[in-house]
C-alpha cells in the first residue's frame, strides 16, 4: 500500500474520534506492510491527557510485538505528532512518521527534531491527505463554536 492508502486508514480512525465528540485525530502503525495498531484520540472519554491517537497506537503496537522497540515501524497520523508523542516516537525507535495536517497551535515533531539532539531520528513525511485532514479538524472546531 502507499502512504496515501495508509493515511486513509488513519483518517478513518479520526472519524471514529469525531463520532464520539473527540478532536478528530487518528493514527495507525505499520510494520512489514501490515497494520499492527490503530487508534484515535480519546483524551475526553478516557479523561487522560496522554490518550492521544499516536500514544494509544504506540501502546498497542508494543503489546502486539511484545517489546517497546518499534524498529522498522511507520506511524501514520492525521495531525503532526505533538512534543509528547514525539518523545514516545523517538524512545520507541519508530523508523518513519507520516502525517497529514501540520500542527498550528503547538510545536510538533518537525520542530522538536530540528531543535534538539537525539540518538534516533525517524524519517518524516508530511502533507499526505493534508487538505482532508485539515478540513476534518477545522469542521470539528467550527461545529463546537456554533453550539454556544
Q: Which of 13, 22, 54, 80 is catalytic?
A: 54
The angle at the Cα of 44, spanning 138 to 148, to the nearest 5 degrees, equals: 55
DSSP annotation string for 83-141: HHHHHHHHHHT-SEEEEEEPPSSS-BHHHHHHHS--S---EEEE-TTHHHHHHHHHHHH
3 three-class SS: helix
Look at residues 9, 22, 147, 1 and name the one whose alpha carbon lies nearest to residue 78. 9
The grid coordinates of residue 5 equal 492508502
Q: According to the annotation, is 114 in a ligand binding site?
A: no
Q: Does the annotation count 13 as an active-site position? A: no
Q: According to the annotation, is 85 in a ligand binding site?
A: yes
Q: According to the annotation, is 52 in a ligand binding site?
A: yes
Active site residues: 54
Q: Which residues are annotated as a binding site?
A: 52, 82, 85
Amino acid at each position: 500500500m502507499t502512504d496515501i492508502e495508509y493515511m486513509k486508514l488513519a483518517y478513518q480512525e479520526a472519524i471514529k474520534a469525531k463520532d464520539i465528540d473527540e478532536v478528530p485525530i487518528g493514527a495507525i502503525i505499520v510494520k512489514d506492510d501490515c497494520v499492527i495498531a490503530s487508534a484515535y484520540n480519546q483524551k475526553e472519554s478516557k479523561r487522560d491527557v496522554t490518550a492521544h491517537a499516536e500514544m494509544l497506537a504506540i501502546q498497542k503496537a508494543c503489546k502486539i510485538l511484545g517489546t517497546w522497540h518499534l524498529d522498522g515501524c511507520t506511524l501514520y497520523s492525521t495531525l503532526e505528532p505533538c512534543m509528547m508523542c514525539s518523545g514516545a516516537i523517538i524512545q520507541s525507535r519508530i523508523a518513519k512518521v507520516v502525517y497529514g495536517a501540520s500542527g498550528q497551535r503547538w510545536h510538533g515533531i518537525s520542530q522538536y527534531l530540528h531543535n534538539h539532539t537525539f540518538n534516533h531520528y525517524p524519517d518524516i513525511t508530511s502533507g499526505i491527505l493534508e487538505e482532508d485532514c485539515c478540513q476534518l479538524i477545522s469542521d470539528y472546531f467550527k461545529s463546537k463554536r456554533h453550539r454556544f
